[in-house]
A = this chain, B = another copy of it.
Amino acid sequence: MQQERTCFVGQIEENMLDKGLRLTWRRQAIIDVFRAADGRHLSADDVLQSLKARKIAANATTVYRNLELMAREEILRHVDFHDGVCRYELGGSPDHHHLHCTKCGKLLEFDCNNLVELANILVKETGFKIERHQLEVYGICPACR
């Protein structure tokens, strides 16, 4: 049981410990949920349901608190699909964006070197120090056309 819950302790967990964060069962479970989600973008409720499916007791409050914590510590990244729900994805590179099909909901990710270029132009023209940007694109995917 203990073993089931501990799963494997990977880089993310070590990262958390390095940052002085406590590594609780629930936090590990949340990380596992994101690993299993394989790049999908989960809302607090998605996480909660996944935990329930894995028979891990968890409270919505705890999930919200941990998602926010992990986003602050840059373990998760906050993304916003303009649907009124906070979503998160695992880790790292903020330089990919999303292409949504407004019919079937299919989601494609794309890198965007153009945006890096654009960011440079913006820096020159406005003097802003750019911290983050998010581009969401909506359209109809080939299958739905």
Contacts and interface: CB of A to CB of B under 8 A. Distances in A.
Nearest to A125: B110
A122 interface: yes
Contact of A114 (B108, B118, B130, B136): B118
Interface string A124-136: 0111111111111
B99 A128 contact: yes
A22 interface: no
Contacts of A108: 126, 128
A128 B139 contact: yes
A23 interface: no
Nearest to A78: B82
Nearest to A128: B139
Contacts of A115: 114, 118, 135
A112 to B, nearest CB: 7
B138 A135 contact: no
